[in-house]
Structure 1
Amino acid sequence: MGINTGTPVRRVVTGHNDLKSVVQIDDQLNLIPGFASEAVTVWQHEKYPAELSNEDAAKGKTQIYSSGSLIRVVDFPPKAQGHNHRTLSLDYGIILDGELELVLEEGRTTIVRAGDIVVQQATIHQWNNNTDKPTRVVFVLLPSVAPEQNGKSLDDVGYPPEFKPTWRKDL
């Protein structure tokens, strides 16, 4: 199984049993539709340093980002137009397959392609797939401090309130 868009995501999770390293989970995750894309959270945890788990740390949780870290695979279908949003997180976006247009608030657009990595620092942004081919991206999200501009603290914007983190002390 490759990294191509549209294929299930294979997840291999290691752990310990009787003080020896073992594979605890080896499964395939199917992506779920939403927000002009399909996505699946591969793993997440709520603390830093990371707590280790013998259970599926992503099962049953739907959050935009977590208080620890989160890794998600997102497939953007051809001609998908995203929406402006900001999470209070430091995001690493690794483009595995295809091409996306990154649109920032100031109006600048940047094309990113397979092999490119985007480091996004709690900015308002939008992802568009203007091509006739799907695009697959892996996102790793870490919580960040709220950015400040002109003495004003900026907030999360652009996604449903039920996904807004309740653990934020600075909001």
Structure 2
Amino acid sequence: MGAFGASHRPSGSDVFKRCDPMKIRRVITGHDANGKAVVTHDELCTNILSRRDFHQSCVVWSTGQLPVDNLDSNDGYTRDVSTLSKQDTVFRIVQYDPGVAPRNHRTETIDYAVVMSGAIDMDLDGQTVHLQQGDVLVQRGTIHNWVNKGTEPCVIAFVLIAAKPIDLNHQTLHAHG
């Protein structure tokens, strides 16, 4: 699996348990041929994925280069973000329902996260932090797991930006899980 997670679409017996499907409206702006600011996309996301029980995610936009070319006509919604490019950015919305299946993982990214609704625990190596609506997190390549012990879904907006792997004491901590 890449640093941004597998691009996995359940089918047949590969369907995961979930609560109500997310409804994410994305509004994308750009420019017309005369340089006027316009809305290029205004739609509900249809790429809602579930990679494990009680978990849903949606890539809203992604880019493959830094600095970003804001005149690129490719829809960042359709890029495959399952493999890591050292220039990638990903904007993803994730819903963790109560009982979400555990997945201890590390990415080779710096992640900016905003808890949009609900509450969740983030487990690190021997430490747990409780996050709730309005809290923000900067995740710097640490191994972690999300645990929803509540009764309501927790929705988090993530912006992932490719980062160097963690190198401590001549040991490289690569993406995992």
Q: Deviations over 1:53-80 (max 9, x none)?
A: 3231121524276532110000111121
Contact 1:71 1:139 in 2 (8 A): yes
Q: Which amino acid aligns with 1:63?
A: S
Query: Take 1:92 and 1:45, find their aligned partners in 2: how far apart are those partners?
Result: 16
Q: TM-score, normalised by structure 1?
A: 0.83
Match of 1:68 among 72, 88, 113: 88
Match of 2:172 among 143, 149, 153: 153
User: Where does residue 32 of structure 1 map in the other structure?
Assistant: 49
CA apart distance, 1:149: 1.2
Q: Deviations over 1:21-41 (max 9, x none)?
A: 111011111422123410000
Q: Aligned pair 1:11/2:11, yes or no?
A: no
Contact 2:52 2:101 in 1 (8 A): no
Contact 1:15 1:22 in 2 (8 A): yes
Q: Deviations over 1:80-127 (max 9, x none)?
A: 13211000000011100001110002x111110000011110010000
Contact 1:75 1:134 in 2 (8 A): yes
Judged with a 3 Å threshold, the aligned counterparts in structure 2 of structure 1 residues 65 and 73 are, in CA distance, closer, same or farther, namely: farther
Q: Aligned pair 1:49/2:64, yes or no?
A: no
Judged with a 3 Å threshold, the aligned counterparts in structure 2 of structure 1 residues 65 and 91 are, in CA distance, closer, same or farther, namely: farther
Seq. identity, %: 29
Match of 2:152 among 120, 125, 133: 133
Contact 2:96 2:154 in 1 (8 A): yes
Q: TM-score, normalised by structure 2?
A: 0.80
Contact 1:146 1:155 in 2 (8 A): yes
Contact 1:65 1:89 in 2 (8 A): no
Q: Deviations over 1:125-147 (max 9, x none)?
A: 00011111111000100011111
